[in-house]
Amino acid sequence: MFTGIVVGMGEVVSFNNNTLSISIPEMSAVEQGASISLDGVCLTVVGFSEEQVWFDIVDETLNITTLGALQIGDKVNYERATKVGDEIGGHDVSGHISCKARINSIEDGMMSFKIDEQWMKYIPAKGFIALDGCSLTIVNPHSDEFSVALIPETMARTRFGSKSVGDEVNVEIDARTQAVVDTVERMMHRSG
């Protein structure tokens, strides 16, 4: 489990045969088998040194997420798994990506995203969503688009500060919101 509060950015060192190597600053006490979120994707540490952490990534993850497009030198958001007693500053984030969205516009601290219309029923105004691992509040959802407000701290600490219109992001829909919507739909279908 994660909180959606990105700690910082790592840098891609290598990406060969589905093994991704990331340089992560200030990474202390990494353990084999630990979970780390990279751009919102929960990955397992398969090896590490003082300067790098290695992850194996299956084809399904490469197909569903933006990780398949990573190149050497690219930055990624990272967050360590939450421990009992840690502050939960965002919301519960699993690191299981639902889909991708494309940046539609960026202006005045607002970023809007286009997403496949089927996901919009899980994106309520003032609800929360994880984008590239960042816990964010949903603004102005309609049809196949929604927005989020990004404060300067988020822009400085995450990849959002270097994103452009047309870039894709990983989307994790809130599991509780999805469960409620799906349950209500099933109940309405049965009674209808």
Structural domains counted in the chain: 2
Claim to verify: residue 21 and residue 49 sit in the same structural domain:
yes
Please report whether residue 94 resides in a domain: no
CA distances from 52 to 12, 23, 27, 131 (A): 9, 4, 9, 24
Among 80, 108, 141, which residue terminates a domain?
80
pLDDT in tens, 28-77: 778 899 999 999 999 999 999 888 999 999 999 999 999 999 999 999 99
Please report whether residue 90 resides in a domain: no
Tell me the mean pLDDT in the region 127-146.
95
**Alpha carbons 120 and 41: distance in angstroms, whole number:** 21
**Alpha carbons 74 and 9: distance in angstroms, whole number:** 10
As to burial, measured by CB atoms within 10 angstroms (0-12 exposed, 13-18 middle, 19+ buried), residue 175 is middle
pLDDT in tens, 19-29: 999 998 876 77
Please report whether residue 85 resides in a domain: no
Tell me the mean pLDDT in the region 160-188.
93
The pTM assigned to this predicted structure is 0.92
According to DSSP, residue 157 is labeled H
Q: What is the CATH number of the domain that holds 133?
A: 2.40.30.20
Claim to verify: residue 63 and residue 134 sit in the same structural domain:
no
Please report whether residue 92 resides in a domain: no
Claim to verify: residue 18 and residue 54 sit in the same structural domain:
yes
What range defines the domain where residue 50 resides? Answer: 8-80
Claim to verify: residue 147 and residue 182 sit in the same structural domain:
yes
pLDDT in tens, 84-99: 666 676 778 899 999 9
Please report whether residue 87 resides in a domain: no
Claim to verify: residue 107 and residue 66 sit in the same structural domain:
no
Please report whether residue 108 resides in a domain: yes
Tell me the mean pLDDT in the region 166-189.
92
| Top-confidence residue, 182 or 125 | 125
